[in-house]
Amino acid sequence: MTTNTKDPVIRLCGIRNQFGSHVVHDGLDLDVYRGEILGVVGGSGTGKSVLLRSIAGLQTPTAGEIEVLGTNVRTATEDQRQALERRWGVMFQDGALFSSLNVRENVEVPMRSVPGLDPELRRQMADLKISLSGLPYLAGDKFPSELSGGMRKRAGLARALALDPEIVFLDEPTAGLDPIGAAEFDTLTRQLSDTMGLTVFIVTHDLDTLHAICDRIAVLAEKKVLVTGTMAEMMQVDHPWVHEYFHGPRARAAMDAIPTKTKTNPDNKGD
């Protein structure tokens, strides 16, 4: 598989996640490189979201090391943790917005951790993030219950972008969206990665997303990252699950829908 000479911004070594007697990950290793869009796939129960939560400090592994942007997540002090969390953003499934806050107030939540930030400036920054997420300006005054599923996802993305992060974690960002909405979200993700220099970690099962915007793919199987590489390299993997996933009917349909893959090389963003 592809060997990347860039410095990793996320390094996982020997990760073990266990819930009671159930072992989800055992000896999992993974590097994520600056500026890439990495798609994480795997069968049901392989712990894709658990892995995301482990990196973001929301789930504590029973063993292993996690380093993000040069900081050891597991041994960091509270001050180091807070500083690190300002350098990443997380978009959960369906946005995970606070129902009692409007969109603008939801986006402002991470900003409230910044000492001395003027409320009016905070409001203006929130409006900018709302605009960057592709939502209309008036959406800032709406509550989550007043938004469609696609709009809630974009509002969740706006909140993830609130502090101008270096890394964004996206958990199933296109799940539940119609094909047009999913394609628009993919395009937005690629544009934001290119213009803001974001490293994007996407947990997804969407083959269209993998084909359209992911520079590399990491496959979870057998309690570890079984293989990483470009889409072209995934097509050559002989493992039964990987072969079925990337050669099945849905995979063929996704490939036919996107005949030219210009987004798979981290050093050539298709400009």
In a domain, 171, yes or no: no
In a domain, 249, yes or no: no
Residue 271 has pLDDT above 60, yes or no: no
Residue 48 has pLDDT above 90, yes or no: yes
Residue 2 has pLDDT above 60, yes or no: no
Confidence of residue 5 (pLDDT cuts 50, 70, 90): low
* pLDDT for residue 95: 64
Q: What is the pLDDT of residues 165-198, one digit of tens each?
A: 999 999 999 998 899 999 999 999 999 999 999 9
In a domain, 227, yes or no: no
Average pLDDT, the chain: 89
In a domain, 146, yes or no: yes
Q: Which two tokens stand for residue 129?
A: 């993030």
Q: Which two tokens stand for residue 50?
A: 């658990």
Return contacts of 68-76, CB within 8 angstroms, 24+ apart: 68/9, 68/10, 68/11, 68/167, 69/9, 69/10, 69/166, 69/167
- Of 17-21, 185-189, 234-238, 252-256, give the lowest mean pLDDT range: 252-256
Neighbours of 1 (CB within 10 A): 14
Nearest Cα neighbor of 213 from 247, 149, 170, 155 is 170
Distance CA 41, CA 47 (A): 10
SS3 210: helix
- Of 160-164, 187-191, 228-232, 251-255, give the lowest mean pLDDT range: 251-255
Domain that holds residue 148: 102-164
* pLDDT for residue 250: 61
Structural domain count, the chain: 1
Whole-model pTM: value is 0.88
The set of residues, in sequence order, having a beta carbon less than 8 Å from that of 270 and lying 6+ positions away, is 262, 263
* pLDDT for residue 109: 94
Contact indicator for 172, 93 with CB cutoff of 8 Å: yes
In a domain, 139, yes or no: yes
Residue 70 has pLDDT above 50, yes or no: yes
Average pLDDT over residues 96-118: 92
Distance CA 175, CA 224 (A): 24
Residue 254 has pLDDT above 70, yes or no: no
